[in-house]
Amino acid sequence: MTVIELFQQVHVPRGTLPAITAATVLIVSACSTTPLSPYTEDSPPLILVPASHAGVGDQRGRFREIFCAVLEAHGQTLPDYQHCDDALTRVGDEPEGTGKSVALGSSERGLVAMEIPGIGWTCFANWLDTEGSVRDHIRQFGYDLIIQNVDALSSSTTNARQIRDAIMNMEMKDDEPRLVLIGYSKGVPDILEAVVSYPEIRERITAVVSASGAVGGSPLANDATQSQLELLKHWPDAECTSGDGGAVESLLPATRKAWLAENPLPDDFPYYSLVTYPNPERISLMLESSYNKLSRVDARNDGQLLFYDQVIPGSTLIAYINADHWALSVPVARTHPTIGSMFVDQNDYPREALLEAVLRFVEEDLAKSAN
């Protein structure tokens, strides 16, 4: 799932939707004074520097042009329309756009997005009952989308193997790679471990995208346990098992930073980072406690992740998104509007237009690199 703290706050018996009410939302850690990032000497040397000093390219200006063009052309007929200036957050000196026109016709390359969901996804996917509108929308333009399930409660190491197997079992239409791996939340470290551990999949991949990815882990994981996460197995219509029980361990900042330090990423394809950086008023009620808790470290967070922990080293930064962690990829309010209005009240976001813009940006960037 996308949450690290929801399993600390909510217990939902199977088949009992009324359990998600104010009476059963248990804020057990809001008053905790335990440091989210405890003192430790078991860490690789770390620094926090501007992205340009860390090998991260900045293409926010061009992505804004593409996203705005997509929203203007298609967005108002899609759910949760927002004006481009509301959908994106300007941070620092955002580069100017290129001024070039944006191609809005059919894809020449036919990119296929494989999305790897976050922690707990198969525990609540049936309850969420997404309608597939994102896939339907991008198919109009020659793209496609595959939601590749992995173990909801397992480690990134176990899930990396599952990603490898799924990719190797895909039929290749031709020699040109078309697969864009898009990781959401914990799906990103799952992907990164896969591309490092299994070199045989690299020739099938054309790009990797972090969408609100837990690249550097989350301090919230330091205050969570796997047994709390196991409560998600009791979500209505849940279809998930305990797996190897390593999900929380995989999200610890110490785990992720140590892994990054020991595992240089392959340069067979480009990496892109999409960061959730919401204005504080865009945080849903259910995420306010975790947002405030993370704010003890840095107020620039999405309710689950700090903004700088979402960037893949050596990637291209394409956007700061004005949405909280759930709004980016978990459309609770669309399928459960009552719960949405009460607890997930900032869940609207033009996800269909966003994925179209991401794929158009990646396709254009790949073509530019090939010339």
Whole-number Å distance between alpha carbons of 144 and 160: 22
For residue 298, pLDDT over 90 is answered with: yes
Of 301, 262, 167, 219, whose CA–CA distance to 40 is shortest?
219
Spatial contact of 249 and 155, defined as CB atoms under 8 Å apart: yes
Q: Which amino acid is at 173?
A: K
Cα angle value 130/88/193 (rounded, 5°): 60
pLDDT band for 33, please (50, 70, 90 cuts): low
Cβ atoms of 302 and 209 within 8 Å: the answer is no
Q: What is the mean pLDDT of residues 9-17?
A: 37
Instruction: Out of 3.30.450.20, 3.40.640.10, 2.130.10.10, 3.40.50.1820, select the CATH number for domain 6-31+60-370.
Output: 3.40.50.1820
Whether the pLDDT of residue 234 is over 80: the answer is yes
Least confident of 213-217, 231-235, 268-272, 353-357: 231-235
| Per-residue pLDDT at 371 exceeds 60 | yes
96-110, 227-241, 252-266: least confident range: 227-241
pLDDT tens, position by position, 58-91: 999 999 999 999 999 988 888 899 999 999 999 9
- Model pTM? 0.91
Residue 8, pLDDT above cutoff 80: no
Confidence at residue 1, expressed as pLDDT on a 0 to 100 scale:
36
CB 358 within 8 A of CB 274: yes
Average pLDDT (194-219) is: 97
Q: What is the pLDDT of residue 32?
A: 52
Instruction: Please list the helix, strand and coil fractions of the chain in percent, rounded to the nearest 5, in that order.
Output: 45, 10, 45
At residue 276, the pLDDT reads 98
List the one residue out of 340, 345, 308, 290 whose CA is nearest residue 323.
Answer: 345
Residue pLDDT, tens place only, 139-188: 999 999 999 999 999 999 999 999 999 999 998 777 778 999 999 999 99
Residue 66, burial from CB neighbour count under 10 angstroms (0-12, 13-18, 19+): buried
Alpha-carbon distance 13 to 355, whole Å? 34
Integer Cα distance of 151 and 7 in angstroms: 17
d(CA 289, CA 43): 28
Q: Return the number of other C-beta atoms located less than 10 Å from residue 59's C-beta.
A: 19
- pLDDT at residue 108 above 80? yes
> Cα separation of 368 and 261, whole Å?
30
More confident residue, 3 or 294: 294
pLDDT at 269: 97
Specify the pLDDT at position 185.
96
Length reported for the chain: 371
